[in-house]
A and B are shown apart, each in its own frame.
Chain A
Amino acid sequence: MSDIVLKTENLTKHYGGVHALQEANFELRKGEHVAIMGDNGAGKSTFVRQITGVEQRTDGKIWFDGKEVNFAGPIEAREAGIETVFQNLALADDLDVPSNLFLGREKVLFNLGPFSILDRKAMRKATEAALVRTAVKIPNLSSTIRHMSGGQRQCVAIARTATFASKLIIMDEPTAALGVQETAQVENIIRTLKENGEPLILVSHNMRQVFDLVDRIVVFRRGRIVANLRKQDTDGNDIVAYITGAKTGQAELQAA
């Protein structure tokens, strides 16, 4: 149990009569990168929303970092160490890179409540360090997010999650809206995170990307986990079969 970062037991979410997520049992170990795949409406995002406290689960238990947790909201989850890169980027367009990285947890020179004086130099330095650590390329830290490309924005969002000593990073389709080069840049950041031993859950539709980056693939179908496979034990055709329902996978799950 000690090297397990995140564990869910019978995690279930119903929206009225819709059973969006049913009895999901999931484990993530230290330093492990896991991909979550599945068709639209298979329950991937629902699963992420339960873990990050964006929604409240109908049933089931979640352990994070060795303790059973009940997050009342995304901010509690973040304070516990779960950093999420959302599909819709949570960045403020009119602020520069350091301001966005430290939004809501600014470094402060003098504490005067809401009128605390910001330590801009320290935040700038920490930002440079974080960007170097995650190998993010940004030409000018002082320019606002508004002036950046989609890839650069995504990189800033990811660098933000990596800046703080997070225990788990969740990315919900981080490259869905990006071009080829920008996707490559984001993937490089994910590799850097892997080298640094930071655990990651990657929600993705991109088969090549998943096989390039992660250790293990979990497939959702109709609200249930239908496959949980190590990368070397499977291939693209196999995964597609699980996603489309050609293979049901109950036998493999029990074996694993």
Chain B
Amino acid sequence: MSQTSHGIGGLSYDAKKRPWPAEFNVFLALVILVVAFELIGRVFLGDSFLFNTRENVSGLFNEQRLQIIILQVSIVGIIAIGVTQVIICGGIDLSSGSIVGATAMIAMSFAQVATVNGNPNPKAMFIDYGWTDLPVIVPVLVAIGCGLIAGLINGLLIAYTRIPPFIATLGMMVTARGIAKWWSKGQPISFPTDSFAAIGKGLMPVVIFISLALLFQLILSYTKYGKHCYAIGSNEDAARMSGIKIANHKVLVYAIAGILASLAAVVLCSKNLTAQAGMGVMYELDAIAMAVIGGVSLSGGRGSIIGTVIGSLIFGVIISGFTFLRLDAYYQEMVKGVIIVGAVVLDQWRQRRRAIGA
């Protein structure tokens, strides 16, 4: 953005004294965390967290660890992109984890092969209808359709019945989980086609996550849609007075969040080669946590996708760091909780200090 060092109407200001973007603080936290793990590793374990210490592998960094860090957060990260725009718009979405579960089940049942090792696929749901070995576009479209419907219901409920987003999406959370269990009477759905399995193979989840993150960062910064998200989250009455169609916008925001959750479901069940009714449990909270750690304000109006991406990396670093330090998985959960609350406290504190300074 271009900066004029002179203000309007003869007032001047010091361009250098501008507060740095909130994302910078989050990035700093990420760096500090990595350095902390590196130091602890060197001192107590004699091993490096970040750098390559094995002789038979070349390269400066421990690429395997870096890959795991980003790979394990990329699926929840896709959900977090949708959740970020919902929170910026002043809402919350608790249903994304359950939408992942329901969508994974439904989409997977359209992605199954007819025969496994020459025998008929015992898990194929629609084998009697001949709906097997379908082109990959079918399950993907089915998934997007599921996410769209769930998101539309969320959005319509919130926009037109005016019930709080917390309640509307809580209802969807319970309902969608029920659908996930009912779809195959609790049975896992497995044996996808090769083309469907390719979606989540290797580093594909990372590629999909980063592409979607880039796309939505651009949408939030450069389009009307993005501007209106920030405006509604910041002052809904002002946005209404300005002629923004709040209801339409909210429906769109939740629909997009639903679609992103369903894309996460596609990647997840493709990567695992199976869909289970319990998939995506607690993902909604992890996604919200990534956004909050990344500087997205729960009161709406502030935050960015870049922040959420860095927030998701902090998440990944913490999980791998704990594994690296050979600490129990139980500790991870405990620390995750502390970090989420800490991030909100820090945000509140920063806002208060800024308000006093202004």
Contacts and interface: CB of A to CB of B under 8 A. Distances in A.
A94 B230 contact: yes
Contact of B223 (A115, A132, A139, A146): A115
A117 interface: yes
Given A95-B227, A137-B11, A104 B243 contact: yes
Given A92-B301, A93-B234, A95-B231, A142 B3 contact: yes
A94 B234 contact: yes
Contacts of B12: 139
Nearest to A110: B223
Given A117-B222, A118-B222, A131-B8, A139 B13 contact: yes
A103 B239 CA distance: 7
Contacts of B238: 89-92, 103
Contacts of A112: 223
Interface string A87-112: 01111111100010001111010001
A143 B1 CA distance: 12
B242 interface: yes
Given A78-B243, A104-B244, A91 B11 contact: no
B348 interface: no
A241 interface: no
B9 A115 contact: no
B8 A132 contact: yes
Contacts of B182: none
Contacts of A103: 227, 231, 238-239, 242, 244
Contacts of A94: 230, 233-234, 301-302
Contacts of B156: none
Contact of B242 (A90, A136, A140): A90
Contact of A92 (B9, B231, B252): B231
Candidate in A90, A95, A135, A140 with the most chain B CB atoms within 10 angstroms: A140
A93 B239 contact: no
Interface string A17-33: 00000000000000000
Nearest to B225: A114
A138 interface: yes
Contacts of B222: 117-118, 120
A93 B235 contact: yes
A117 B8 contact: no
A86 interface: yes
A114 B242 contact: no
Nearest to A86: B241
A123 to B, nearest CB: 10
A207 interface: no
Contacts of A116: 223-224
Nearest to B358: A147
Given A94-B234, A116-B224, A137 B3 contact: no
A103 B244 CA distance: 8
A141 interface: yes
A114 B249 contact: yes
A150 to B, nearest CB: 11
B225 A74 contact: no
B7 A139 contact: yes
Candidate in A78, A88, A115 with the most chain B CB atoms within 10 angstroms: A115
A142 B225 CA distance: 20
B10 interface: yes
Nearest to A91: B238
B8 A114 contact: no
Given A78-B243, A118-B222, A136-B9, A90 B237 contact: yes
Given A103-B239, A142-B1, A147-B358, A128 B8 contact: yes
Nearest to A108: B224
Contacts of A147: 354, 358
Interface of B: 1, 3-4, 7-13, 15, 18, 219, 222-225, 227-228, 230-231, 233-235, 237-239, 241-244, 249, 252, 301-302, 354-355, 358
Given A131-B9, A137-B7, 11 more contacts: A90-B235, A93-B235, A108-B224, A117-B222, A117-B223, A118-B224, A135-B9, A136-B9, A137-B11, A138-B8, A147-B358
**Complex A-B, nearest 5 residue pairs according to Cβ-Cβ distance, in ascending order:** A137-B9, A104-B242, A94-B301, A104-B243, A139-B7
7 contacts: A94-B233, A99-B231, A114-B223, A117-B223, A136-B8, A139-B8, A141-B8
